[in-house]
């Protein structure tokens, strides 16, 4: 789950990481009130779960409260990278001497966290790595020992700091690492990490992505996962989350339901190979019950772009007869609003096929044949 900037900064503050003074606003008048309370020039920042907001015009500046009201009015309701802006963060505009970068992410090849720092912040770190790799400090973190104080000091020293600033910066690095571990972060970063003319360090921006599989340890974020205000999910994706389904909306016309991420991805590839386009990625998961199949089908039938639904089931933990009953449950309750193509093989496959065939639903054994049939129907509909 990708937290919005103001959400991430709330977490940063709990860990003692300095952030600018600021508040969230949902209307232009609220933005004006926040600017009046702050009493300084402000930055008005669109709150969407996307990077590159500055380049896309999502960060504007205001010298007065009235100007803050005006720029908030321009941002609220607009779209940044296809995401609607429902809230803005109004915060004090920092005086900047230097911009740095610091982040902690997962290095999957080494199976550990890695700290990444750069003396050049404010731009995409991938761009710095491509154009000036010598400015990147990369430090793998041993999961048994963690990031020690002397490790953080080494990173800060590599960025050119010494004395009081060396200690202050290394302390900030260590706090961000502690945050990453305790919050089960897949990625947390500060870009830019601002050095002020007074020699202080402040997180001008904050990013925090939490592993969805660890949300049971963070109940404070559970409700935010289903909030429509987040803006980074389509209505269909939000509804799928509420139903406990792994769903991603795509741009095709063939609805796809599979059990297991690998099988579902292979189904998407097979549809593409046959000249079609998938409308979604929908993974039922292992042990999918008839209720989950019923829920998945009704979700796809509600999408007007879907011309046909391809159901690809490889029965292991998932029982094919349970899946078949789920399909018929939908047929009995609402009927098939779209043609369906079923490929079913594995545990209790004979019983599953029998249930469907007796109900007049054709079942195929080959994934290639099923994809070809789905593409044929989509072109005809």
192 preceded by a cis bond (ω within 30 of 0): yes
**189 has catalytic annotation:** yes
Cα distance between residue 211 and residue 184, in whole Å: 6
Q: Find the catalytic residue in 32, 99, 120, 189.
A: 189
Show the tokens assigned to 320.
Answer: 């094919």
CA distance 160 to 150: 15
Enumerate the H helices of 77-234 as residue ranges: 125-131, 149-158, 163-182, 222-225
Q: Where are the beta strands (DSSP E) in the chain?
A: 22-25, 42-46, 59-62, 79-80, 83-84, 88-92, 98-107, 112-118, 136-141, 185-195, 201-203, 207-210, 246-249, 254-258, 280-283, 308-315, 340-346, 363-364
Q: For the packed helices 320-333 and 349-358, what is the interaxial angle rounded to 10 degrees?
A: 20
Catalytic residue, from 67, 99, 101, 253: name it.
Answer: 101
List the catalytic residues.
101, 189
């Amino acid at each position: 789950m990708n937290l919005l900037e103001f959400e991430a900064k709330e977490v940063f503050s709990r860990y003692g990481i300095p952030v600018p003074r600021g508040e969230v606003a949902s209307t232009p008048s609220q933005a004006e009130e926040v600017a009046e309370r702050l009493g300084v020039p402000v930055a008005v920042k669109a709150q969407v779960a996307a990077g590159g907001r500055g380049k896309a015009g999502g960060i504007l500046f205001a010298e007065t409260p009235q100007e803050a009201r005006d720029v908030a009015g321009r941002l609220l309701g607009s779209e940044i990278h296809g995401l609607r802006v429902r809230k803005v963060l109004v915060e004090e505009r920092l005086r900047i001497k230097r911009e740095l970068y610091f982040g902690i992410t997962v290095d999957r090849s080494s199976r550990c966290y890695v700290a990444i720092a750069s003396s050049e912040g404010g731009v995409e770190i991938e761009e710095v790595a491509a154009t000036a790799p010598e400015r990147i400090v990369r430090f793998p973190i041993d999961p048994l020992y963690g990031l020690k104080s002397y490790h953080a000091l080494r990173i800060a020293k590599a960025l050119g700091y010494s004395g009081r600033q060396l200690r202050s910066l290394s302390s900030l690095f260590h706090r961000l690492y502690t945050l990453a571990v305790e919050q089960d972060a897949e990625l947390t970063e500060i870009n830019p990490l601002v050095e002020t003319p007074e020699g202080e360090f402040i997180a001008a921006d904050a990013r925090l992505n939490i592993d969805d599989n660890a949300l049971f340890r963070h109940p404070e974020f559970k409700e935010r996962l289903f909030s429509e205000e987040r803006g980074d999910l389509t209505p269909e994706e939000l509804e799928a989350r509420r139903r406990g389904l792994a769903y991603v909306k795509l741009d095709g016309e063939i609805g796809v339901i599979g059990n297991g991420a690998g099988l579902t991805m292979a189904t998407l590839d097979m549809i593409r190979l046959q000249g079609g386009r998938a409308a979604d990625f929908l993974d039922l998961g292992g042990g999918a019950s008839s209720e989950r199949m019923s829920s998945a089908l009704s979700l796809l039938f509600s999408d007007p772009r879907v011309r046909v639904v391809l159901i690809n089931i490889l029965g292991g933990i998932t029982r094919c007869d349970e899946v078949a009953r789920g399909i018929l449950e939908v047929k009995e309750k609402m009927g098939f609003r779209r043609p369906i193509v079923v490929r079913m093989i594995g545990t209790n496959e004979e019983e599953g096929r029998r249930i469907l065939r007796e109900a007049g639903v054709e079942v195929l054994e080959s994934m290639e044949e099923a994809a070809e049939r789905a593409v044929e129907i989509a072109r005809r509909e």
